Amino acid sequence: MSLSVQKGKFIPRDREWQPEALTPAYKSSVKRSPQAALLSFPSTLSEETSPIFNNNILGPLDNDLIFNHAKPGESAIGARIIVHGQILDENGIGIPDTLVEFWQANAGGRYRHKNDRYLANLDPNFGGCGRTITAENGFYEFRTIQPGPYPWPNGGNDWRPAHIHFSIFGYGFVQRLITQMYFEGDPHIKLCPIVNSLTSKEAVDALTAPLDMKRTIPMNCRAFKFNIVLRGRHQTYFENRKEGL
């Protein structure tokens, strides 16, 4: 994802970059989209403040989904991958000390959740979630297995592309952004009603992580690079806050 760096200059939000709240092909949006004018509520002190995140809150395997839920001597089943990138502001500056959480389905496309009734088997050694803190220049990295696609009851035969969910925390709990990452070359991307609610190919590309052979570990892990831009003209699409932080 390219980003034009303009240090010291405010970059206006491009609201056309984001999809409409009501996109009937994505059936859940029909009930979830606002039916009346939006109301603004003042934030509370607890929303505007939060703990200062640092590596002291992390466990030794929080950023390794291959092993963080596995029994001793075991590991998660699936193709091993590294996901890495940078959390950036609108001027291309990396943001340190940002809590990044991630969760996903297993290699068969099933979540470890009581409401997931997909026929794929659960992996007893895969929990499907983790977290990390960005480094000084906003870089993050974690290991996991590549998730599988799965069917969902949107239409007669709709499948979600393989994806990983991300939650990014700012300096207050009200500053939480949620997005998801897709994988380069997945044929389900162009068929997904959620993806097709986006307004441009550039927006879809910003959610699609390319293969990064330079960061692979031979005979071990492939790697995918996924940068997240918090706001500005090139911001990543966020499901819960379209204007970014």
Interval 30-54: pLDDT, tens:
888 888 887 877 877 776 666 667 7
Q: Write down the pLDDT at residue 34.
A: 84
Q: Write down the pLDDT at residue 191.
A: 95
Note whether 193 and 153 are within 8 A (CB). Answer: no
Q: How many whole angstroms separate alpha carbon 128 and alpha carbon 145?
A: 9
Domains of the chain: 15-24+52-229 (2.60.130.10)
Catalytic residue numbers read: 111, 150, 160, 163, 165
* pLDDT of 192 strictly over 80: yes
pLDDT range class, residue 1, cuts 50, 70, 90: very low
pTM: 0.86
Q: How many whole angstroms separate alpha carbon 177 and alpha carbon 74?
A: 33
Q: Write down the pLDDT at residue 21.
A: 81
